[in-house]
Structure 1
Amino acid sequence: MDIPFIKMQGAGNDFVVLSPLLGSFPAKKLTKKKLKTIANRHYGVGADQILTVKSSEDAKAEYEFEIINADGSEVEQCGNGARCVMKFLFDLGLIHGKQTSLKTKAGVVNARILEDSNVSVRMTTPKLKAIDVGVDKNLVENVVSNGHDFFYIPWKSRKIEIFPVSMGNPHAIIIIDSIKNPEIEEIASFINRSRFFLEGINLGFCKVLNHKRVQLRVFERGSGETLGCGSGACAAVAAGIAKGDLSCKEPVEVNLLGGKLSISWTGDLKHCVYMSGPAEEVFRGTIQL
C-alpha cells in the first residue's frame, strides 16, 4: 500500500506530514515502529517529527494534529510543526481566508499566513514554575520563586542554573556565554540521561545578544538536537523577558541553527506568546507499507 506524504520544514526543523486529507491513511498500520522507520534518516524519509493532520471534531478548532518524535514518542506541542501544518492546509486550499485554529494535545493554537508568506502562530500562555515542567524537587537544588522559578542542577564541580518554562510542553532554559561552548552537548547528554525531569525535557541553551536578539540551540526530548524549535524559541524569550534581559515591548529575534523566528510576549502570564517564521514544502512522495 502506498501512503502519500509531504516533507516540510520550518527554520530547519523538518517534518513528514501524513494525513487522510492527502488520500490513503491506514491509521492502524501506522504503528510506533513504522513511524520510527519513516522518521529514520537512513531507512525512511527522515524527519525530526512526524505530523498527522486531520479535521477536528472539537468545535474550537478546524483541524488537529499529533506530533510523533523520531524515537516514536508523542509530544504535546510543536511551534514549527504548527506553522508547517498551517502552510500544508493553506497550500491544499483547505483554509477559508488566511487563518485557522489547530488543536494539539496542549490545546488550541491559532495560525495565519502573513503577507511575506511566513506563518504566525498564537501559542499558549507560558508557565514559569518548576512544577509545570515535571521537576523532581528531591534531585535539584534550591527551587526559588521570584515571579518565575529557577533552580540549580549539580554538574561536575559546579551548578547549572535552570529556568523552567512550559509552552504546553516542558522546556528548561540555560543562559550561556556562547552557543559554541564545547560543554553544551555534554551538559545536554547529562541532563537527558538524568531523572531531574520526570517526563523528560526540551533543553534550550540561550545566548542573549541584546534586549531584542538571542542565539539558541535546542535539544529536543525524543529527537536530540534540532536545527530549530518553535516552542523552544518561545520558552527562551519568555524566560528572558521574565528575567528582565529581553524586551516585552517589541519582537525578539531568535537565531537558531536553521533560521530565524520572531517571538513576542507582553510579560503578562495571562497573555499568549506569538511566534512567526518560515514554513515550506520540501518535496512530496509516497511511502510503501
Structure 2
Amino acid sequence: MKKLGLATALLLAMTGAQAYQVEVQGQSEYIDNTVNDKNFTGAVQGTYYFKNVDSSKGPLAEAAFLNQASNASVAYNYGEYDVDGIADQTVHTIGAKAEAYVPTKIVPVYASASYSNTISDNKAAGVADDHGDRYAVEFGILPIDNFLLAAGYTSATNQVSYDAFGIVSNGVAKAAQEQQTIGRDQDAITARTKYVGAIDGTNMSIGFETNMLFAESNTYGFKTDLYVNPQLSVGGSYAEAGGAANRKAWGANVNYFITPAVAVGASYVNANAEKGSVLDTETVGVNAKFRF
C-alpha cells in the first residue's frame, strides 16, 4: 500500500499539479572557447516556498514571481575548466538564498539575502588552490502588479567567488563576466528590474529583466522572454562587461513545460572577447525543472 501511495503521488506530480511548494532544477553547460572545447558545468538548485504556489494563471515559468512567493533556496555548481597554458581547475560553488515578499498598505516590499562559497581546485603546476566568499542583499518594491524595482549591495573577496544562483539562472559565461568585473573591487552596487505581463487579446505574455552592477568597472544586462502560451517560451538576452571581463555576450533560450510540474529547456550564449581580452566563449546548455 505504501508503494502504491508513493507511485500515485509521483504520478500526480508528473501529470497535472496546479499548485506546488518545492521546485528542483538542474542544468549542464558545454563550454567551447578559443583554445579549448572540453569544458563543462553542472548545477542543481532546490527551492522551498513557504506557501503553495498557484500555477494556474499566467506563464508557468513565472508562477512564483506572479504569486510573490517567499522562499528559501540552496544551490550547487560544479565545473571542469581546462584551458591550455592558462588554467586547469575544478570549481565547486555552493550557495544559500532567501527571498521575501511583504505586503504593506502602500506597495508590496521585496527583500533577499544570499551567500555563495567557491572552491577552486587548481591542478596546474605552481598554481595554488583558491577559496572565495560572496554575500549579497537586495531590497525593492513592486509599484504595479508584476513589476519589481530592486537595488542591492554585493561583497566579494578578491579570490574567485561566483554567484551560485546567477550560474543557474543566467549561465556560467555571464556569471564569469560578472565575477571578473567585481573581483578586483570586492564591493558593488546592484540594480535590477523585472516585469511579466499578459499581451491583451491573446494567450501570450511578455517578460523583461534588466540588471546592472557598479564596481570599479560595470556590467549591464537585458533579457526578454515571449511566452507563446503558458507552457512554451522563447527568449533572448544581452550582457556587457568592462574591466577584466571585457566581453559582450548575447544568448537565446527556449523552455517548455511538458506538464505543469515538469519542464525542459535549452540555452545558447556567445561571449565575444573585446580588444585586450583573451578568449571568445560559446556555451550550450540543457536544463530541467520538477515541481511538487
Q: TM-score, normalised by structure 1?
A: 0.31
Of structures 1 and 2, the one scoring higher in RCO (CA 8 A, sep 6+) is 1
Computing the radius of gyration from Cα coordinates, the structure with the larger value is 2
